[in-house]
Amino acid sequence: MEKFRIRGGNPLKGRVTISGAKNSALPCMTAAILTPETITLHNIPYVRDIITMRRLLEDIGAHVLTPELRTHKISAANIELMAAPYELVKTMRASVLALGPLLARFGKARVSLPGGCAIGARPIDLHLAGLTKMGAEVFLETGDVVARAPADGLRGAEINFEKVSVTGTENLMMAATLARGQTIIHNAAREPEVRDLAELLNKMGARVRGAGTPTIQIDGVEALGGAQHTIIPDRIETGTFIVAAAITKGELEIKDCNPEHCNRVIGKLRDVGVEIEEINQSTLYVRSGPRGLHAGELSTEAYPQFPTDMQAQYMTLMTQANGRSIITETIFENRFMHASELQRMGARIQVSHDQAIVDGPGKLIGARVQASDLRASASLVLAGLVAEGETIIDRVYHIDRGYEKIETKLKAVGADIERVRESVTAPLSSTHDDAAAA
Ligand code: EPZ
């Protein structure tokens, strides 16, 4: 297994370029199932989850060409298998996004019920309740969700999400594009990735209105066609590099980002003393403020509030801030796994239920630490960049799921980081298949 070896203390200086958003690319790739014509997606990030999603599409019979590394041409003209198998869903929960499109186009689908993962139980009851309201018969069979549409197809319905669900909103929005009649989704997720998917669906001939607001209206159509689409920048990668500049007391120009999608993150980081300048609609300039960092208070919420996917990175930053910070995680029930690893590096963090108290500033000392999920991994890399001495991060396949070559981008702006393979003499670490997908 591969690891990162980081020697801390270098201030980052220079320019980083942000990749496309993994959490937009994934639903946009499954949207290709809705039509026999070709969908061309640009600015797809080169990350593991995309490779997994490509495998899923090819396993069910779609053809995927990549004329360039970050361009995917997907044709689902000859889908033979309406199923997403366990071994794929286990490694990537987003495989569940195949459910709505398969059901809408073919009237049937079988998707392995995703188990929990490191950050929580991650049920999909809201996805299934919505599909049932649209007329689908949904039942469990040997660990798979089996769904069947009525003979004359899904029908439009009024759906109220009792909880905001990003992929739940995306799954039902896709299913509704080919349903008979109108679907209205209340308490819909408002993430930029939901808006990006709606834009692609409308290019394909769908009639989706209100994406990005709590109420989305979809008028079903007979069929959808091909389209071209460029994926939005990754707002979580953007936030991660803002923290990297601040925590190393460096200066970074962040290119090809979308500051508008990061408003709340930019606001909360400015509140604790990070200097962030919006140069233009796709560029930020970040440096640590002259008065250093001071403690902050944060509660993760659904978009447009502060995203749970930036909570771990914020926690690492607060270990270097003056004073006591309070962080409340309201989205996932077990998303403080990084805290214990940060404590092993000397961070003063107390976790109780959904709240973490961080006292700073405290010197971090390099150590051998272990990543547990995608964003926790990023928080450990950030800690390594500022820690005294050497930090070894195990299980970097987690971070490869959602960050394109993060060590290459960091090294290019002065970080002392390298990817190393497990030496054959090193004690074998436990198998990594307990790393269920986040
Ligand atoms: C999406 O996951 C993202 N993944 C996650 O990013 C992100 O952390 C999450 O949204 C929250 O923003 C993708 O977009 C591929 P949810 P998702 O459904 O859709 C509960 C990353 O790091 N819930 O919005 O699975 C759920 O348990 C990943 O890139 C139900 O109870 O999250 C959670 O508490 C990690 N029943 C809350 O809702 C359901 O049917 C929000 O989950 C669905 C969700």
Query: Residue of the nearest CA to atom 13 in ligand 1?
Result: 23
* Residue 423: predicted pLDDT: 65
CB 436 within 8 A of CB 116: yes
Round to whole Å and give the CA distance between 53 and 223. 23
Q: Which residues in 77-214 belong to E strands, given as ranges?
A: 83-84, 108-112, 137-141, 144-148, 158-160, 182-186, 207-209
Q: DSSP of 180-234, one letter per residue? A: BSEEEEES----HHHHHHHHHHHHTT-EEE-BTBSEEEEE--S----EEEEPPB-
Specify the pLDDT at position 53: 96
| 389 and 424 Cβ atoms separated by less than 8 Å | no
433 alpha carbon to ligand 1 midpoint, in Å? 21
Assign 57 to helix, strand or coil.
helix
Question: What would the pLDDT profile of 197-249 be if each residue is shown by its tens digit?
Answer: 999 999 999 999 999 999 999 999 999 999 999 999 999 999 999 999 999 99
* Cα 225 to ligand 1 centre (Å): 29
pLDDT score of 431: 40
pLDDT of 359 over the 50 cut: yes
Three-point CA angle 24, 25, 26, nearest 5°: 90
* Å from CA of 101 to ligand 1 middle: 19
Q: Is 270 helix (H, G, I), strand (E, B) or coil?
A: helix
| Edge-first strand listing for the sheet containing 182-186 | 158-160, 182-186, 215-219, 207-209
Question: 167: CA distance to ligand 1 center in Å?
Answer: 7
C-alpha 151/C-alpha 345 separation (Å) is: 59
Q: How many CB atoms lie within 10 A of CB 271?
A: 12
User: Tens digits of per-residue pLDDT, 53-96?
Assistant: 999 999 999 999 999 999 999 999 999 888 887 888 888 889 99
Radius of gyration of the chain, Cα coordinates, nearest whole angstrom? 22
Structure tokens that stand for 408 in this block: 């290459």
The best mutation among 88, 128, 166 to test binding of ligand 1, ranked by most ligand atoms within 8 Å of the C-beta, falls on 166
Residue 238 CA to chain centroid, in angstroms? 12
Å from CA of 279 to ligand 1 middle: 32
Indicate if the pLDDT at residue 282 is higher than 60. Answer: yes
The residue to which tokens 């026999």 are assigned: 36
- Mean pLDDT score, 284-301: 95
Q: What is the pLDDT of residue 16?
A: 98
Average pLDDT over the chain, rounded to an integer: 94
Mention every residue, 6+ apart, whose C-beta is less than 8 A from residue 264.
304, 305, 306, 307
Give the pLDDT score at 87.
82
Q: In this predicted model, what pLDDT tens digit does every residue of 171-185 receive, in sequence order?
A: 999 999 999 999 999
Are the CB atoms for 46 and 54 separated by under 8 Å? no
Note the pLDDT of residue 182: 98
Atom of ligand 1 lying closest to residue 167 CA: 19
- At 162, the pLDDT band (50, 70, 90 cuts) reads very high
Query: How far is residue 436's CA from residue 438's CA, in Å, rounded to a whole number?
Result: 6
At residue 91, the pLDDT reads 83
Ligand 1 pocket test, candidate residues 19, 88, 113, 167, most atoms within 8 A of CB? 167
Is a pLDDT exceeding 50 seen at residue 290?
Answer: yes
| Strands, E assignment, 268-342 | 274-280, 283-288, 297-299, 323-328
Protein residues with CB under 6 Å of any ligand 1 atom:
23, 26, 93-94, 120, 122-127, 163, 165-168, 307-309, 331-332, 374-375, 402, 438
**Contacts for 191 with CB less than 8 Å, ≥ 6 apart:** 23, 166, 302, 303
Residue nearest to atom 10 of ligand 1 (CA): 166
Work out which ligand 1 atom sits closest to the CA atom of 373: 22
Give the pLDDT confidence score for residue 114 in this predicted structure: 80
Percentage of the chain lying above the pLDDT 90 cut: 87
Q: Give the pLDDT confidence score for residue 42 in this predicted structure.
A: 98
Structure tokens at 423: 């030496």
Ligand 1 atom closest to the Cα of residue 49 is 15
- Mean of the pLDDT values across residues 11-28? 98
Q: Which domains does the chain have, with CATH numbers?
A: 2-19+233-437 (3.65.10.10), 22-230 (3.65.10.10)
* pLDDT tens string 382-393: 999 999 999 999
pTM for the full model?
0.95
Q: What are the Cα distances from residue 419, in Å, to 5, 192, 397, 422?
A: 6, 32, 11, 10
Residues 366-385 have a mean pLDDT of 95
Give the model's pLDDT for residue 82. Answer: 80
Residue type, 217: Q
**Token digits of residue 109:** 């689908």
Residue 387 CA to ligand 1 centre (angstroms): 31
117 is catalytic: yes
State the pLDDT at residue 438.
45
Closest-lying ligand 1 atom to the alpha carbon of residue 303? 12
Residue-wise pLDDT for 406-415, tens only, equals 999 999 999 9
Which residue minimizes the CA distance to atom 24 of ligand 1?
Answer: 165
Q: Distance, CA 122 to ligand 1 centroid (Å)?
A: 7
- Testing ligand 1's pocket by substitution, the residue of 162, 195, 331, 338 carrying the most ligand atoms inside 8 A of its CB is 331
Residue 143: how many other CB atoms lie within 10 Å: 10
Q: DSSP readout, 223-263?
A: ----EEEEPPB-HHHHHHHHHHHHHTT-EEEEES--GGGGH
Q: How many of the other CB atoms lie within 10 Å of CB of 272?
A: 23
Compute the distance between CA of residue 181 and CA of residue 219 in angstroms, rounded to an integer.
6
Catalytic residue among 28, 117, 257, 262: 117
